[in-house]
Structure 1
Amino acid sequence: MKVEIEVMQEEEDKRPDNVVFDEESNSYNAALKPYATNVGAPIITTPDTVTWKNVNIDKVNKQVKARYDELKAEYDALMEKFEYNNLIYSAKFNFEPIVGEIYHLYRDKNQQPFLSIIAPSQCNFDFVETFRLNADKMWEVVEE
């Protein structure tokens, strides 16, 4: 047994580097490989992809950041709209607002919000903002 192992090791040592020998099947399988295996074959080199990766990582990071900034701005605008709507719907008013009409939000002496049709120029109330009720029943700020 010991002699067989030594003979096999000697055979392995005798094979040159360019010989493709499969230890499992105990056969030569150079013809089965998808790449050239003889000495005259071109050298297989891996391309340097570090520069390509770094450039594209930078581009992807910029695109992701730009998209994130867009979404953040959209989210902030939506949250502002939500806060205004929450403020108006929690305010006091004794009428049913009509879609498309302009209303003014004020604070009373107890700092409680109330909605009115009276313009800020016609009264001395603590003015907050002017709004219009749209068809979706959401309040929009009216820039004057």
Structure 2
Amino acid sequence: MNKKPDNIVYSEEQGYNASLLPYATTVGAPVIQSEDLVAWKTRGIHNVNKVFENKFAELKLEYQKLMEEYKWNELVYNAKFSFEPVIGETYHMYLGEDGTEFLSLIPPNEWNKKFIGSFQLNSDKKWIVVTTCSESS
């Protein structure tokens, strides 16, 4: 019969194809050892988790800023005022005797009312906080 020795790489379909294989086929070839990938995977997981944590912290901070802006805008838009605000002008919010908030052009140092904050209207019709009661005291 046509029996080949064990150390010969032979295939019925491809013949002697040792030079085409991606691994060593002779006894004298270097030993194939699988690398320990646990450490590499652990480092990779740690690094990726750090990236996700940082991104989540950024998004959380951005969300908190957005909610703070929303809160102030809602407060100003719900306040009483009998004029059309001008973009770029600074307005001051006070608490009236009846407990409602109102806007005025009079700065807090010229009026003896409960001051809440100063705001400026930007071109997007969004109120920007200039100062608040806690910042001015």
TM-score, structure 2 normalization: 0.75
**How does 1:1-144 map onto structure 2 within 5 Å?**
33-143=21-131
Structure with bigger helix share is: 1
SS at match of 1:142: strand
Q: How many residues are aligned here? A: 130
Q: What one-letter code is carried by the residue in structure 1 that aligns with 2:65?
A: A
Q: Unpaired segments of 5 or more residues in structure 2? A: none
CA distance in 1, matches of 2:8, 2:93: 88
Please, which moves more after superposition, 134-143 or 29-38?
29-38
Structure label with greater radius of gyration = 1
Equivalent-residue separation in structure 2 for 1:21 and 1:106 (angstroms) = 93
Structure 2: distance between partners of 1:51 and 1:32: 32
**Which letter maps to 2:30?**
P
Aligned alpha-carbon RMSD (Å): 2.7
Which 5+ residue runs of structure 1 have no aligned equivalent? Answer: 1-14
Instruction: After TM superposition, give the deviation of residue 39 of structure 1 in Å.
Output: 3.2
